[in-house]
């Protein structure tokens, strides 16, 4: 079955002085494409092409905190689906080598990675049901072309299926920014499948971080999630003068609040439209990010 929904990535970057989705978004039509031997072109299938990557070309240096990945399909069919893991990887990307064979250039060594259980992942054909914020353990400073990938090869059970939403064919702004592994080599999706698409992998960046070494991260919870008119924030210890920012899917800050003591604090979100958001809190040289969804039948 073919499901239609748009996603269009903007690979050259939109930057603000905060966490920003490196994306350009228009609702005209996008899908996952079924593979002839089961699974999906943008996810697991029988061709042993189990790592998918979206390439990005930064116009300035910044720190990548993680990524939002839109999974369209998740089928947990193995006897122990909780054992299936995916890896989010940030790889160096080579755009300098000129060659007629695609896999000579492209994704290179892994710079950082983090593992996630598919049981904990969302999947759906709407952003609010399919978006996932996947953080790296520490911010990763990037100064040159890079790619962010989802790898299904390390711990994914054979019976379980996962597929990333991909843009409509020929709707991309730059050709050849989506890649996959095939027979041990990296190749472009347009070469392997004839699909000129982008994957729904959105870097979350911060242009304000001067150092990425052992930057402390604040651990906190946001509830309820989904929320309607109010969200609550809790953490284990009090922190003075905390800045709270709510960031929309276009990377723009939609709400800012200063809280003197962050412990079971409540924030009015009645003005937010339904959708997916990131909540960032900053205190001194520490930061923390949590995703949340606004769902209100009256909006």
Q: Which two tokens stand for residue 183?
A: 């027979």
d(CA 96, CA 116): 32
pLDDT band at 62 (very low <50, low <70, confident <90, very high): confident
pLDDT range class, residue 24, cuts 50, 70, 90: very low
171 Cβ contact partners less than 8 Å away, ≥ 6 residues apart: 6, 8, 28, 29, 30, 197
Q: With beta carbons less than 8 A apart as the criterion, state whether 82 and 91 touch.
A: no
Q: What is the DSSP string of 257-281?
A: EEEEE-SSEEEE-TTSPSEEEEEEE
> What's residue 42's pLDDT?
95
The pLDDT value recorded for residue 41 is: 96
Res 178: pLDDT: 92
Does residue 177 carry a pLDDT above 80?
yes
Q: What pLDDT, on a 0 to 100 scale, did the predictor assign at position 211?
A: 56
Asked whether residue 285 carries a pLDDT value surpassing 90, the answer given is: no
Q: Report all structural domains of the chain as residue ranges with CATH numbers, in order of start.
A: 20-206 (2.60.120), 221-294 (2.60.40.3080)
Residues 56/145, Cβ–Cβ less than 8 Å: yes
Check whether 53 has a pLDDT greater than 80. Answer: yes
Residue range 201-228, pLDDT digits in tens:
989 888 776 555 566 778 888 999 999 9
Do 61 and 192 meet the contact criterion of CB atoms below 8 Å apart?
no
Residue 99: pLDDT over 70: no
Neighbours of 265 (CB within 10 A): 18
């Amino acid at each position: 079955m073919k499901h239609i929904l748009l996603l269009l990535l903007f690979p050259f970057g939109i930057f603000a002085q905060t966490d920003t989705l490196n994306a350009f978004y228009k609702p005209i039509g996008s899908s996952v494409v079924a593979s002839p031997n089961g699974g999906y072109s943008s996810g697991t299938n029988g061709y042993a092409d189990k790592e998918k990557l979206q390439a990005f070309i930064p116009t300035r240096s910044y720190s990548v905190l993680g990524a939002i990945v839109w999974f369209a399909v998740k089928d947990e069919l193995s006897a122990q689906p909780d054992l299936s893991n995916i890896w989010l990887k940030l790889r160096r990307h080579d755009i300098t080598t000129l060659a007629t064979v695609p896999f000579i250039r492209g994704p290179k060594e892994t710079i950082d990675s983090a593992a996630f259980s598919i049981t904990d992942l969302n999947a759906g054909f709407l952003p609010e049901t399919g978006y996932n914020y996947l953080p790296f353990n520490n911010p990763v400073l990037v100064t040159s072309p890079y790619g962010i990938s989802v790898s299904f090869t390390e711990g994914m059970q054979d019976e379980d299926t996962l597929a990333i939403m991909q843009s409509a064919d020929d709707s991309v702004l730059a050709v050849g920014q989506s890649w996959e592994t095939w027979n041990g080599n990296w190749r472009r999706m347009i070469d392997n499948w004839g699909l000129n698409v982008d994957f729904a992998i959105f870097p979350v960046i911060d242009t304000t971080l001067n150092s990425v070494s052992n930057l402390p991260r604040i651990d906190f919870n946001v509830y309820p999630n989904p929320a309607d008119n109010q969200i609550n924030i809790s953490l284990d210890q009090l922190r003075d003068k905390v800045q709270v920012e709510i960031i929309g899917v276009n990377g723009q800050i939609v709400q800012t609040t200063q809280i003197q003591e962050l412990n079971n604090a409540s924030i009015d979100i009645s003005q937010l439209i339904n959708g997916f958001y990131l909540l960032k809190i900053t205190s001194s040289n520490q930061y923390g990010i949590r995703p949340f969804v606004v769902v209100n039948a009256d909006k």
